[in-house]
Amino acid sequence: MTAEGKNTFQVVDEGFTLREAVAEAKKCLQCKVPSCRKGCPIENDIPQFIHALTMGNVGDAMRIINEKSNLPAICGRVCPHEKQCQGHCVLNKKNEPIQIGKIEQFIADFDTEMNLTREPLPQKSRGKIAVIGSGPAGLTVAGDLARIGFNVTIFEGQNEPGGVLMYGIPEYRLPKKVVRAEIEKIAALGVNFKCNTLMGEGDNTIDSLFEQGFDAIFIGTGTAVPQNMDTTPGATLRGVSQSTYFLHNVNSFNEGAISRNAVPLRQGERVAVIGGGNVAMDTARTAIRLGAEVTVLYRRTEAEMPAIKAEYEQAVAEGVKFEWQTTVTEFIAGSNGRLAACKLKTPTDEHEAPFDRVFLAIGSKPANRIVRSTAGIEVDENGYIKVVDRPMGMTTRRGVFAGGDVVHRPQTVVLAMKAAKDVAQGMAQYVDAIKLLEVAKKVEEDREAAK
């Protein structure tokens, strides 16, 4: 196995075997007031699906999970469990919390492998819904509404659905076969997918969707535009690029869509990653796998770093270096005009450090393509879409809803799902209301015609 090969992206943690999953589940105390459930943003019924597993009933465990989550195999892998469900487990007092994420992952994977779940679905007669974007928020809205009788179509700009799940999270942390399997389950609910359809360009607009007869539209396009450091001298030098671009290219390489030469990193390069979130950790660990020497530069302390603790610890174990309370004040060019070094400022000094390449992981913001092409959708000063609470998630344009990162700023997968589930309820209420008004109007018209 070489640093240049795809084998370096094999999954770090393969998950539980059946024996291990049942043994871990049997540790659960079945608390009368389950704090783990309170720690879960979508209030998954954790004790119940764990109990079902201890009884050997994986199908029932999957049914319980499906009542709250559309993406359990993904959440089981990438959610910050130590801050949520697992972090609230009462066994934390003994430093032995139930590994809830790995149990959820096992149940979902077993269900996929054995093809257990076949949900009875209602006729799609309640209304017609368009979902723009197929990331966590879009898939959640689509799944929830399809389950209660709505005809849902997802519009995705890429050639394959999944959004950040497919293109933004490295293979070693979230295998693409897992994402595809979860999306197949969403499709099995009767959800339609239209890929290579970039909304907000040409004839693909919000108005055109309404003209096609959609009753309501959900915008779940996330934050596709990365933040930059344009005010920092040298920020436009060759060798300074975005982490999201790098991760997208590496995922495409692992899928065989592009060659290794198209990935902006060479083996042996000295790489700096600027940022302290999960994207920074993904970038650093990915660059290590491609044979780079990697240092993360973060402007605050280790305690203030927003990345999942386990991701940080694994990055350290893999050889990533960290420099705390460090900011880049200048990108310095070499004789060839490319990046050669960075001027770093710390609490004690300012010095230069040699780097061949820098990846920026300092946040992102929404694209304005859809808002720009649509009348009546208001955004705040940073471009995030404004929504109301009644009906939940509706924008200032009637019938257009939004949720996830495009509204609430970049968050975790499960928090995007939580917001999307609330919006799905608001959309159902809205469509039911307009359908009722249409019926009432027709009754009145018929009454007038009969006079």
Does residue 450 form part of some domain?
no
Does residue 446 form part of some domain?
no
**CA 323, CA 152: separation in Å to the nearest integer?**
47
Does residue 11 form part of some domain?
no
The total domain count for the chain is 3
234 and 340 assigned to the same domain: yes
**CA 114, CA 112: separation in Å to the nearest integer?**
6
330 and 207 assigned to the same domain: no
pLDDT number for residue 411: 81
406 and 386 assigned to the same domain: yes
305 and 376 assigned to the same domain: no
pLDDT number for residue 1: 33
Which residues of the chain fall below pLDDT 70? 1-7
Does residue 65 form part of some domain?
yes
Cα-Cα-Cα-Cα dihedral sign, residues 188, 191, 192, 194: negative
Token readout for 355 is 């780097």
203 and 244 assigned to the same domain: no
Does residue 422 form part of some domain?
yes
Q: For the chain, how far is it from start to end, CA to CA, in angstroms?
A: 84
Q: Nearest Cα to 209, choosing from 140, 155, 245, 277?
A: 155
**CATH number, domain containing residue 376:** 3.50.50.60
73 and 164 assigned to the same domain: no
Does residue 399 form part of some domain?
yes
Instruction: Decide the pairing of beta strands 327-333 and 321-323.
Output: unpaired
**Model pLDDT for residues 143-155, shown as the tens digit of each residue:** 999 999 999 999 9
197 and 243 assigned to the same domain: no
Compute how many other C-beta atoms are within 10 angstroms of the C-beta atom of residue 30: 10
How many angstroms from the chain centroid is the CA of residue 398?
Answer: 27
Domain span at 36: 18-114
> 330, 346, 364: which is the final residue of a domain?
364
Does residue 244 form part of some domain?
yes
Contact 89, 104 (CB under 8 A): no
71 and 175 assigned to the same domain: no
> 302, 332, 364: which is the final residue of a domain?
364
pLDDT number for residue 451: 76
**Model pLDDT for residues 303-340, shown as the tens digit of each residue:** 999 999 989 999 999 999 999 999 999 999 999 999 99
355 and 246 assigned to the same domain: yes
413 and 308 assigned to the same domain: no
pLDDT number for residue 3: 45
> 114, 144, 164: which is the final residue of a domain?
114
Query: Which DSSP string corresponds to 381-418?
Result: TTSPBP--BTTBTB-SSTTEEE-THHHH-S--HHHHHH
330 and 256 assigned to the same domain: yes
pLDDT number for residue 2: 41
Token readout for 46 is 């954790």
253 and 296 assigned to the same domain: yes
pTM, rounded to two decimals? 0.93
Does residue 77 form part of some domain?
yes
Q: Phi first, then psi: give them for residue 359, nearest 5 degrees.
A: -115, 130
pLDDT number for residue 10: 81
Token readout for 210 is 């309404």
